Amino acid sequence: MKFTSPDPTFYPSARLAMEGPREELAYVVALAADGGGPSGIPDGLAVVDLDPTSAGYGTIVHWLSAPTAGDELHHFGWNACSSALCPYAPHPHLERRYLIIPGIRSSRIYVIDTKADPRRPEIVKRIEPEQLIRRTGYTRPHTVHCGPDGIYISALGDGKGDGPGGIFLLDHYSFEPLGRWEIDRGPQFFAYDFWWHINQDILISSEWGVPWMLEDGVLPEQLMKGAYGRALHVWDIRKRRHLQKLDLGEDQQMVLEVRPAHDPRKTYGFTGVVLSLKDLSSSVWLWHRDGDRWAIQKVIEIPAEPAPEEELPPLLKSFRAVPPLLTDLDLSLDDRFLYLSCWGTGELLQYDVTDPFHPKRVSGLRLGGIRRSAAHPSSPEKPLNGGCQMVEVSRDGKRVYLTNSLYRAWDEQFYPAGIRGWMALAHAEEEGLRWDEKFFVEFPATHRPHQIRLQGGDCSTDSFCFP
Amino acid sequence: MTRALPWAMAFGLGAFHGLNPAMGWLFAVALGYQEEKRRAIFEAIGALATGHCLAVGAAVILFWAAGAWLPSHWIAVGSAGLLVGFGLYWLLRPRHPRWVGMHVRLRELVLWAFLMATAHGAGLMLFPALGAASLCGQGGSRLPVGSALGMAAIHTIGYWAVALGMALIVFEKVGLSFLRKAWWNLDVLWGTALLLAAGTLLLYP
């Protein structure tokens, strides 16, 4: 720990974070393709070399195996980030050092130290599921956000695999679970992602479903009933109370990632809806402050692509279309570009959201996809499966990293042939997106990659209290 | 000369407290940026100085009142004990306060500064100065309450001047990158200062 200055990866503002050094390593969670059951193979954390001057550029340089099988590592985050500079609870001499990695199936949480050797991180602590349930009442931990006063983690359900899901806190120093975050949850029942407008003391959470609706795959009869999540929830962070429910409508199913503007003076953000029951389209919605309340409206719609029945997996045959399945989105630190990844069609879309109410499409690329199986330019003859899924943008906004697996049980439904894991890189240039031909990481057949975290922070980890 | 020394100490400690971003100036900078005007900084520092003054004033009154029915060496030892406790806490186990958020009214800032100063033992740090004032200022007799409060006031002026200066310099001149380069671990410095104050009390009770 340095005495005279904060961790150099803490930035007071998003603007300063964009001027920071280029990322050299990525940490990517990889789940065992068979769930670990039959083979006993555990999930892992891959360390990927991102330094173009290095001989190992675009390869996995280290593999950290989980000690037990069946965790389903999914989303994860840092113990501390730029929010440590927030003036009401400043702790600038914490370090961005530990990755907090929950198993979304096992409800076990690993704490991984990246400091001694960033290229060879090590597990230093485990929080067992029993302890998590006892302390918080929650299971299936998902999103990890480093808050100014502790580590916030969302969880999909309770000890019985039902709801409500919610948010719990980990202590910043000991990583012990402190308890359930909500004091008054109002009508909120489903959980998934969350983030905040830190200078407004507002937290926004989204809805996927409770564990029994998710863990054996998407349940078509539940989906047709519109039973999955369809709303955002607005919370008062200080009072930990529910303020408002933003209902997107009965056709909208599964409201996933939330991406508030990084500039703390702005009071809007974007969220993605996976599926419309009306026409299988995906959509992006903009929430924004409207007087004393919050409002939400649709700003982007991505249509489904018609397809012959024989080219579709059983789940989709009767619809004769490939839904785009917008499953992740990411906003550049200057709040200018929004990146959407459509796991069904394999499309990565770049929108200019300088005017958040009127996004303009700038460019798009394809990789994988249910029907197209679009190839990477590094080997144009080789069709790829899975599709653009988890997307992470570099701090300077110039590089967009992608992986292709969603969630094991759902992978099998949409890509029944089995997903071969890959990670790709697109450069965001003046004229739009372009694939990096030298960067294409093929994961071992035993594993599939999910979320990516960039060394020193990225566009979905840090929150800034200064503009 | 020696009469002025305790007052200089009180003022200097105020300046030291003002220098600590955790005591308020950083909050004022953030509010200045959030509202995009310099006026917000003046208002915030005013509110913060009020809260700080109340916290220090309360500690000073406590010290003064204790003098009415306790022998001075008991007060010295008791205060030193408190200082050591706070000092070790800030050296070994700094924790997150969770009293307010970012979206605050001015009276909440007053409360925040009051709680921050109290939790950091800011008022306690003044005890050696108070002890010294009653010794060399009043020739062994008890320090008048007016002087004790004057000490808190002088302390607050030091705090206010430095905090306002820091906030304005960062907001107007050097900008936010300053926070990345020069943010000392004041928890360590603070804990050390508390221990030094305890030592002073024990050596010169």
B103 in contact with chain A, both atoms CB, cutoff 8 A: yes
A186, A211, A356, B94, B149 from A228: Cα distances, Å: 18, 11, 27, 43, 63
Residue A18, domain member (yes or no): yes
pLDDT digits 0-9 by tens, A55-70: 999 999 999 999 999 9
How many angstroms separate the CA of residue A465 from the nearest CA in chain B?
7
A5 in contact with chain B, both atoms CB, cutoff 8 A: yes
| Average pLDDT for B29-54 | 95
User: What are the chain A neighbours of B188 within 8 Å (beta carbons)?
Assistant: 3
**pLDDT value for B148:** 86
Residue A354, domain member (yes or no): yes
pLDDT digits 0-9 by tens, A113-138: 999 999 999 999 999 999 999 999 99
**DSSP labels, A251-316:** TEEEEEEEEE-SSTT--EEEEEEEEETTTS-EEEEEEEEETTEEEEEEEEEE--EE--GGGS-TTT
Q: What CATH number is attached to the domain comprising A142?
A: 2.130.10.10
B174 in contact with chain A, both atoms CB, cutoff 8 A: no
pLDDT digits 0-9 by tens, A255-311: 999 999 999 999 999 999 999 999 999 999 999 999 999 999 999 999 999 999 999
**pLDDT value for A179:** 95
Residue A404, domain member (yes or no): yes
Query: How many Å separate Cα A442 from the centre of its chain?
Result: 20
A373: helix, strand or coil: coil
**pLDDT value for A93:** 81
H-helix or E-strand containing A123?
Answer: strand A122-127
Residue A130, domain member (yes or no): yes
Query: The tokens of A380 are what?
Result: 């144009």
pLDDT digits 0-9 by tens, A134-173: 999 999 999 999 998 899 999 999 999 999 999 999 999 9
Domain count within chain A: 1
Query: How many Å separate Cα B26 from the centre of its chain?
Result: 15
**pLDDT value for A333:** 98
Of A6, A90, A173, the CB nearest to B180: A6
B82 Cβ neighbours under 8 A, 6+ residues apart: B121, B124
Structural domain boundaries enclosing A228: 14-454
Rounded Cα–Cα distance for residues A128 and A143 (Å):
17
Do A149 and B96 lie within an 8 Å CB cutoff?
yes
Kindly provide the ipTM of the predicted complex, given to two decimals.
0.83
A12 in Cβ contact with B179 (< 8 Å): yes
**pLDDT value for B138:** 45
- Amino acid in position B22: A
A88 in contact with chain B, both atoms CB, cutoff 8 A: yes
